């Protein structure tokens, strides 16, 4: 009887897995600055699809990507370069034999006439970095705001400020809270020294967000020479995919498998009972 219960449990897992829809994602590696939501040069777009913890093509689903209306089939993972100036519409879809589908889409704009904003101020190098910039709702992101004093400069006094967007909540930080939604700290940097300030943020809703960082610094004791620099980091938060897709009961392959294996199990049990009774 234990074997029967184990088989039923296995079948339950199989039936649930069969109801999962393909997971489709599109990621962009710009390799160039993003200024006002635009790329300044060629970008690489990667399409990926998986289902049931494996590649799409190994699990009975078909995937397509579309770039400006041109659609091509792919096996579940492919990268393409986009170099055309202007706006490019990009999407990807995947479907299984039971009719369940998944998809994703983005819009990319390339404008080579934009002059990149300098990321370094004289004497100091600063950076706002996110370990991931494309996440799903509920996922944590770690941001690091760093400053490095150049070796040719005197001791530098620094204030760093991080402003997370609405729709995100700070779960841990080395910053002190200052005002509504602002996190700040101050320190001094010796010539050639650097410091990272880390903030962990939890995403609460989907959408495109902009994390802002600001650094204010001066050398020695002369505050009148203070300078400041603004930094921006774009974050895309996707909704959690709805993995359970209702299927039609009459045509459900999982129900057919259930019924076949149940009959097979009952026949084995009946045959075993007859043999025992005969002995």
pLDDT digits (tens, 9 = 90+) for 138-182: 888 887 888 888 888 888 888 888 777 776 777 766 665 555 567
274 phi/psi in degrees, rounded to 5: -65, -40
Contact 183, 176 (CB under 8 A): yes
Taking a C-beta distance cutoff of 8 angstroms, is the pair 212, 151 a contact?
A: no
Q: Indicate the fold that domain 20-115 takes in CATH.
A: Immunoglobulin-like (2.60.40)
Residue for token digits 């620094």? 158
Measured from the Cβ of residue 189, the count of other Cβ atoms closer than 10 Å reads: 20
Sketch the domain layout of the chain as residue ranges.
20-115, 121-238
Q: What is the CATH number of domain 121-238?
A: 2.60.40.10
- Please, are residues 74 and 64 in contact by the beta-carbon 8 Å criterion? yes
* DSSP label at residue 57: G
- What lies within 8 Å, CB to CB, of 225 at 6+ separation is 218, 219
How do residues 225-256 score in pLDDT, each as one tens digit?
Answer: 788 888 887 888 888 766 544 444 455 555 56
Identical fold, 20-115 and 121-238: yes
Segments of the chain scoring below 70 in pLDDT = 1-19, 30-36, 51-60, 115-123, 167, 172-181, 241-259, 270-271, 273, 275-279
Place of tokens 């202007």: 86
């Amino acid at each position: 009887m234990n074997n029967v219960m184990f088989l039923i449990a296995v079948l339950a897992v199989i039936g649930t897995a069969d109801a999962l829809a393909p997971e489709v994602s599109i990621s962009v590696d710009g390799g160039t600055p993003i200024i006002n939501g635009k790329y300044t040069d060629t970008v690489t777009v990667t399409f990926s699809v998986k289902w049931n913890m494996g590649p799409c093509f190994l699990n009975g689903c078909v995937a397509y990507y579309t770039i400006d209306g041109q659609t091509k089939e792919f096996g579940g993972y492919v990268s393409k370069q986009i170099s055309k100036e202007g706006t490019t519409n990009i999407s990807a879809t995947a479907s299984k034999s039971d009719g369940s589908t998944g998809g994703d889409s983005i819009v990319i704009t390339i404008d080579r006439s934009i002059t990149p904003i300098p990321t370094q101020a004289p004497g100091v190098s600063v950076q706002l970095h996110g370990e991931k910039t494309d996440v799903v709702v509920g996922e944590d992101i770690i941001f690091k705001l760093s400053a490095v004093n150049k070796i040719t400069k005197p001791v530098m006094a620094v204030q760093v400020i991080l402003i997370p967007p609405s729709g995100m909540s700070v779960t841990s930080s080395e910053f002190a809270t200052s005002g509504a939604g602002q996190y700040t700290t101050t320190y001094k940097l010796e010539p050639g020294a650097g410091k990272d300030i880390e903030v962990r943020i939890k995403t609460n809703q989907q959408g495109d967000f902009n994390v802002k960082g600001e650094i204010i610094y001066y050398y020695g004791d002369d505050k009148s020479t203070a300078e400041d620099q603004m930094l921006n980091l774009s974050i895309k938060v996707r909704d959690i995919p709805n993995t359970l897709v209702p299927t039609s009961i009459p045509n459900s392959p999982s129900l057919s498998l259930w019924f076949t294996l149940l009959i097979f199990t009952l026949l084995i049990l009946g045959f075993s009972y007859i043999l025992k009774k005969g002995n």
